Structure formats: structure tokens, C-alpha cells
Amino acid sequence: MKKTLLASAAVALALTGAAGAQEVKIGVILGFTGPIESLTPDMAASAELAMKEASDAGTLLGGKVLVPVRADSTCVDSAAAVAAAERLVTSEKVAAIYGPDCSGVTMAVTANVSVPNGVVTISPSATSPALSTIEDKGYFFRTAPSDARQGQVLADIVKERGIKSVAVTYTNNDYGKGLADAFVAAFTAAGGEVPIVSAHEDGKGDYSAEVGALAAAGADALAVFGYVDQGGKGVIQAALDTGAFDTFILGDGMIGDSLTQTFGSALDGSFGTAPGSAGDNFAKFDKMAKANGIMGDGPYRGESYDAAALIALAMQAAGSDDRAAIQSKIIEVANAPGEPIGPGELAKALDILAKGGDVDYVGATNVELIGPGEAAGSYRELEVKGGKFTTVRVR
């Protein structure tokens, strides 16, 4: 946590310079500790890259700069996430919040902090279908699509690969259960078999008992809807150690460099999905990210850049950093009509908005908001080849 806070301070200094009174604070709340801690540094850095780009343009609200203020959601501890968000909103007085990340803590923060205080919250990675219907008063958005769609996409891929029977294990929370339910419904509707669906708890040292029960069901492959740095990884370890499974179907929470760094080519042939795109705009973003020291290839980097960019553009469209004013312009800058805006074009967009024009923010991930709390989105189909995740195609 100390490293996280020091990194935040360093970024803040780089962004603000001598700006002083021209600062506008933006909350950055992610699980810097916890089951996806290997993913969040690049996610935060991608969001902060968009903030710096908007600030460097010099035209944001007449020369204001965005200052990220980091806080730890833990991904799993709702009470800790709410306390962290309360600090951002009441003590730091942030204008808006980028994050949180995991679905359970996002629900808690939205219900207890951001909505009651009228603060826009844009998550890059909270994908539970339950978030589509929360009472958010129009203050919650996400740049990643719902797991209702991911479950269908994964089911289609499994069927196309000729796998007829799948055992399913999921982390025992809103994210895991939501994705498992969506996948099982779609796969069985398409004629597939799911002989066992079993929750697993994070934080255990040994998952051999869980894997034994899953293997006894006699399925062709194991779907793991968990976290890359926690129980999901432990389940795969136990499955490989015992030879119970050699093909794994992975939800987005399992897609990360730390997984392939641990297991390498033992995962070859395993596959999964993660929100994202592989088009020209994503390639442009990826090049920008790497030029700015964001070297990983994990998920949600593009969605993070886009979430922060939307906050900056909504602020400019509103002509104010007032919280309610920002909320009123999010969908307007995200969707047509307007000049299409890709990654690296925030200065152009800010200039158009300053002159009273309209923008359609496409961003790194083909942003399209279909209502508060819901994004159209697309998914990358990934496969492990030679011990590394490779994008097969975008769906």
C-alpha cells in the first residue's frame, strides 16, 4: 500500500507542476491489494495517462489539470472499499471517480458513497449483470460490458471448439456467480452439458478437494471463473498437479500475465475472454501506453483509459467540474452524434467542446454507452499459445 501511495504522489506532482489552484481531483479506486493486484497497476496507469493527456492540452476548463488520488478497493472487502471511497469524496473532494474494479465492491461503493453524494463513478471492469439494474440515479457507468454477454460469448466459443461437457467453478461472490450463471444458461441452451457447478473460496492454500469433486463429474474441460491472483489460480494449480484437467476455460478475471508467467506452456490450448478490442484504435492506445511505461498486456487497460477520458470530456462539455454537471454530459460525449475521437486525440476533443461542438468518443475500446450502468462493448477471444495469451479474434 505504501508503494501505491508513493506512486500516486509522484503522478500527482508530474501532473500538477505549478498548477496549484487549478487542480481538479479525480478518484482512482482499484484493488491495489487483493486477488487482482497484478492487473491494477497498469489499469491505474492507463487511466492516469488519459488524465495527463487532457491536462497537458492546456484547454481543459481554461487550463485546469486533473490530479489522480488513489485508494485501495481491495476488490473483495466492501467495508474497506466504502471507507476508501468516503475518503475520496468527503476528504479529498474528488469531482468524479474512476473505478472501482470488482463487481461486489463497486455495488457497495455505488450504493453507499457515490450515488448518495452525487458523484459519477465509471468502472473499467465491474461486469456483474446485477449492475445493469441498480438504483444509481444515473451516476454509475462502466466501459466494460456485462457478464450476461460474456457468458454467451464464452458458450459460443466452447461449442465452436467441439467441447461437449464442462465443469464450472466460480469465486463465491457477485462477479463469479453472475458469470457462472450466464455461461451455464447459454451453454446448456446450446445443447452443452454442465455436470457440476461449484463455488470456491479465495484465500485457501490447497484446492485439491475442490478439484477432486470437479474431476469426478467427468467433464471434458474446466471453466474457472475466479481471480488470477487468488483462488482461480489455486484451482488451476491443483488441477495440473493431479492431472485432473488440462484444458481450462477462463473468464476475464483469470486473464493476466501473472497466470502465464506461473504456468507457462502447461496452459497451452486453454482459452478465455476479456473485454476489449484489437482494432486500429486499440493498437494506437497500446503503442501510447508502452511509450509511457505501461508494458503489460493484461485486460482493462483500454477500458481504464476510456473511463478517465470520458470524465475529462464530460467536464469540458459541461463547462464545469461540478459533480452533477459532469454526470449530465457523460452519455452525450460517449455517443454519436459528433466528431469521432480516438485515443491520443483528447486535445482535439477538448478544443471542439470548448468551441461548442460535439464529440463521439470512440476511444481505445469502441465506447458506446447504451444507458447508465451499461456499455455495448466487445470481447477478445484469447488462447494460450507457447505459454502466452494470444488474441484469436474480437467478438
CA-nearest of 94, 90, 51 to 69 is 94
CA distance 330 to 372: 9
Quote the CA–CA distance of 150 and 173 in Å, as a whole number.
17
Q: Across residues 225-231, what is the average pLDDT? A: 97
pLDDT of 4 reads 42
Q: Cα–Cα distance between 37 and 126 in angstroms, integer?
A: 15
CA dihedral 182, 200, 238, 126 (to 10 degrees): 50
Bridge partners for 169 per DSSP: 198, 224
- Given a cut of 50, is residue 14 above it in pLDDT? no
Q: At what angle do helices 323-334 and 301-318 cross, to 10 degrees?
A: 120
| % of the chain at pLDDT higher than 70 | 94
pLDDT digits 0-9 by tens, 264-305: 999 999 999 999 887 899 999 999 999 999 999 899 999 999
Q: Which domains does the chain have, with CATH numbers?
A: 2-144+279-364 (3.40.50.2300), 147-274+378-394 (3.40.50.2300)
Mean pLDDT of 8-32: 66
Q: Per residue in 356-394, pLDDT tens?
A: 999 999 999 999 999 777 999 899 999 999 999 999 999
Give the C-alpha separation, 14 to 12, whole Å. 5
Q: What is the pLDDT of residue 373?
A: 79
pLDDT single digits (tens) 297-310: 899 999 999 999 99
DSSP annotation of 357: -
Across the range 345-352, mean pLDDT stands at: 98
Residue 15 is predicted with a pLDDT of 44
CA 210 to each of CA 206, 232, 370: distance values in angstroms, whole numbers, following the listed order: 9, 11, 39
Instruction: Specify the pLDDT at position 212.
Output: 98
Query: Which residue would you say has higher pLDDT here, 40 or 6?
Result: 40
Strand partners, 25: 67
pLDDT band at 12 (very low <50, low <70, confident <90, very high): very low
Q: Name residue 373's amino acid.
A: G
pLDDT at 125 over 80: yes
